[in-house]
Amino acid sequence: MIVNGEPRELPEGTTVTGLVAELGLPAAGRGVAVAVDGEIVPRGEWETHELDATARVEVLTAMQGG
């Protein structure tokens, strides 16, 4: 799969929650948004939304600053 423009190997059946954890981001997802193949995945679906090998995933984080 492609994550933020970079190829990444993850075990089959990895969910959005698993990917977020793998990236070292907060498990609760606060300040994190995930899109799979151009569609936002609601946080309530992260634990059940499995990613396949052809997925194109964008993980965005909110940053504070000015």
Q: Where are the alpha helices (DSSP H) in the chain?
A: 16-22
Percent of the chain topping pLDDT 70: 95
| 52 domain residue, yes or no | yes
- How do residues 17-41 score in pLDDT, each as one tens digit? 999 999 999 877 789 999 999 999 9
Residue 62: how many CB atoms within 10 A of its CB?
Answer: 8
Domain that holds residue 27: 2-61
| 66 domain residue, yes or no | no
- Rounded to two decimals, the pTM is 0.89
Residue 45: pLDDT band by 50, 70, 90 thresholds?
Answer: very high
For the chain, how far is it from start to end, CA to CA, in angstroms?
33
Count of structural domains, the chain = 1
Residue 66: pLDDT band by 50, 70, 90 thresholds?
Answer: low
Report the CATH number at residue 32.
3.10.20.30
